[in-house]
Each structure stands twice: as C-alpha cells, then as structure tokens.
C-alpha cells in the first residue's frame, strides 16, 4: 500500500486577503480547541478565515469571527458556526502577543489552518494595517516581478 503524498503541511484554509490588507510582522503557531463535529468540518475544509481575528482576554487568546460550517452528519452535536474558539499557546507567547497588541493599529489575524500530526493548527499573524497606497505599491511590485520573470523566461 502506497503512502499518502504529504502536501505542504496539509493546508485546509488560507486567508489570502490578510496578506493584501496587512503587513505581517510576526507569526505564531497555535492549536485550536474544537468540538468533535467542528474538527470533522475543518478536515473537510469547511472553514472560512476571511473576517477572523484573535483577541487576548484574561491571559487567554480567543479566535473570533471565524466560520466553521456545521458538519452534515452532526445533528444535535453541532455548535454555533461563529462561536469564539480558544487558541492554545505558551504563556510566554501570550505575553508577547498581549504586548504587541497594545500598540495602535496592531491586530492578530489568522493566516492559515492546517493539520500537523493529526491536530488542527492555526498560523496566527501579528499584523499592522496597510493604507491604500501601500496596497497599490504591493500590486505594482508584484506586476513588475511577474513581467521580469516573463522577460527572463523568453530570453533564457
């Protein structure tokens, strides 16, 4: 029997808009506290990180506004799709996050959800909001890089 080919960390969901709207200063890997039906939905890739954010409250980090669709066969065991979920981090990391979010314009943004050794993990980014001119600059630089790659490919 052949082994299953391992993809890049078994990525289940990505927040592509976060890298467009924010400058990512630091990233942290955190575990997520999920119920049985939630983990089954996450494994099926039925999670939306688009409007999500994290907040430090009472020495704990909570993931808010992330939608995990109810599991089809879950019936009475399904929970609210938008409920707040606790993130598992070390005390030292939580202290760093608390200090980082005290600054103005700094927020905690979920970047990616993936499976690691059978557990759902979240890549959490410490982010600073971009202005519209920063976004335009990023798009312009990406287009220039793409054009340069095209020219190099044709001449090479």
- Distance between CA atoms of 8 and 77, rounded to whole angstroms? 31
Query: For position 124, which CATH number holds?
Result: 2.40.280.10
Q: Is residue 21 part of a domain?
A: yes
Q: Is residue 69 part of a domain?
A: yes
Give the pLDDT band (50/70/90) at residue 5. Answer: very low
pLDDT (0 to 100) of residue 8: 55
Q: What is the mean pLDDT of the chain?
A: 84
Q: Is residue 77 part of a domain?
A: yes
Q: Is residue 152 part of a domain?
A: no
> How many CB atoms neighbour CB 129 within 10 A?
13
Helix (H, G, I), strand (E, B) or coil at 37: helix
> pLDDT tens for residues 62-104?
999 988 888 878 777 777 778 888 999 999 999 988 888 887 8
């Amino acid at each position: 029997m052949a082994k299953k080919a391992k993809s890049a960390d078994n990525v289940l969901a990505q927040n592509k808009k976060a890298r467009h709207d924010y400058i990512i200063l630091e990233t942290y890997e955190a575990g997520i506290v999920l119920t049985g039906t939630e983990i089954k939905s996450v494994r099926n890739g039925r999670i939306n990180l688009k409007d999500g954010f994290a907040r430090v409250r009472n020495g704990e980090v909570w993931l808010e506004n992330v939608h995990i669709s109810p599991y089809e066969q879950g019936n009475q065991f399904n929970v609210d799709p938008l409920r707040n979920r606790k993130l598992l981090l070390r005390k030292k990391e939580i202290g760093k996050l608390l200090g980082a979010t005290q600054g103005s314009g700094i927020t905690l943004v979920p970047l990616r959800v993936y499976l690691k050794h059978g557990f759902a993990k979240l890549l959490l980014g410490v982010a600073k909001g971009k202005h519209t001119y920063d976004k335009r600059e990023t798009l312009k630089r990406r287009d220039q890089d793409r054009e340069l790659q095209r020219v190099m490919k044709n001449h090479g």
